Structures are given as structure tokens and as C-alpha cells.
Copies of this chain bind each other. A is one copy, B any other.
Amino acid sequence: MEEDLLKEKEKLLKEKTVETMEKYSGGIINVKVAQVKLPDGKTSRREVVEHPGAAAVIAEHEQKIPLLLQYRYPTGEALLEIPAGKIDKGEAPEDCARREMLEETGYAVEGKLKLLTKFYTSPGFCDEVIYLYYADEIEKKSDLTGDSEENLHLLMLSREEILSMLKDNRIKDAKTIIGLQWLLNGGW
């Protein structure tokens, strides 16, 4: 697959904004509706959820992987997820990753973070990007987990436990599945 061919095709697919209407402005998300011009000249309507983006960290410490059980109101259930959180205004994604790791697990990232990938969670209607990092060294600093608005329960799980949970679909969060597959498979 030639990179040039891909760029060429991408140009042909581009949709141009005709008009944008703000529909909702909230604490975390904004919603806009755009009228767009398609490559064939027709027009269509696109709903867009704007999100500040997030950073997430997959790590391993003494052969255990930190996961958080967190109640996710939109889903009506508690999910097992890798440490992650929204990027603050002006914050570098890597700083966000370090901050969330410490806030949510009480473990500090020692040394470097490796960016594994950045991806869109749901590009059909949302611009959210998640920066996914690997921390090869973390160290316990505190027993506190979460902030006042988050109710978290930290679990340190073995690779065997996690593999079993992936197979049984007891892990149900996209970023977590991507990070765990990367770790369990020893890379891409």
C-alpha cells in the first residue's frame, strides 16, 4: 500500500463544511451539526461530538497489571479499565497520562512513557482521540485512588487473569482491550 496513493484517495473523499450550528455546550462535550458538501457535490448533515481527548496507560508491576473498576453511568455498569482520563486544557498528553496514573492508582510512572498508538474512539460522530502509553516502570506512592467525582476500585491482575477476562468478554472498554492485547502479545 503506497502512502502516496492513500493521500491521493483521501483528497478525493474530503467533505467540506458549508455551515456549522452549535447544539449543546457542556462540561466535557460540545455538540455541533454541520452541513457538508460531499465529493460528488451533494450535501449531507454531520453530527459532531467534540471532546478534549484523553490519555491512557498500560503498565505492569511485579507481574501485575493495574486496572480500575469504575462505574460508568452511560453504560449502567462498572467496567474494568486501564488508568486514563481527559486531557486538561493546555496539558501535554504525556503529562496527562502521568497525572491520571498517579491520581487513579496511587502508582507513579518512573522514567519514560512509550506512545503505543493514538486512535479515535468513535470517528463517525466524535473527535475524541486517546493517546495510549506504555509505562515499563511504576512505583507505589499512595493508597488513595480517584478524585471526589470518581469512585474507583484498583485491581492488580495477572496476565492469566486478564487473558481469561478478555476471552470471556468481561473486559468491555475499547482502550483497555487495545492496551492489553498489545501487552499480552508482546507488541504489535
Measuring CB to CB, which residues of chain A are less than 8 angstroms from any residue of chain B?
1, 3, 6, 9-10, 12-15, 23-24, 26-29, 31, 33-34, 36, 38-40, 42, 44-51, 54, 69-79, 81, 86, 117-128, 130, 148-149, 151-153, 155, 157, 161, 163, 165-167, 169-175, 177-178, 181-182, 184-185, 188
Contact = CB atoms under 8 A, between A and B. Distances in A.
Contact of A69 (B9, B48, B125, B184): B9
Contacts of A123: 72, 74-75, 79, 81, 172-173
| Most interface-central of A42, A119, A149 (chain B CB within 10 A) | A119
A123 B70 CA distance: 10
B71 A13 contact: yes
Assembly stoichiometry (copies): 2
B13 A173 contact: no
B10 A77 contact: yes
Given A73-B15, A74-B126, A185 B177 contact: no
Task: Name the 9 nearest CB pairs between A and B, nearest first.
Answer: A13-B71, A72-B123, A10-B78, A121-B122, A174-B174, A181-B181, A46-B73, A74-B127, A48-B74
Given A9-B69, A49-B49, A69-B10, A28 B125 contact: yes
Contacts of A161: 1
Given A28-B125, A45-B27, A122-B126, A178 B174 contact: yes
B47 A28 contact: yes
Contact of A24 (B13, B28, B31, B50): B31
B49 A13 contact: no
A106 B13 CA distance: 19
B29 A26 contact: no
A119 B125 CA distance: 17
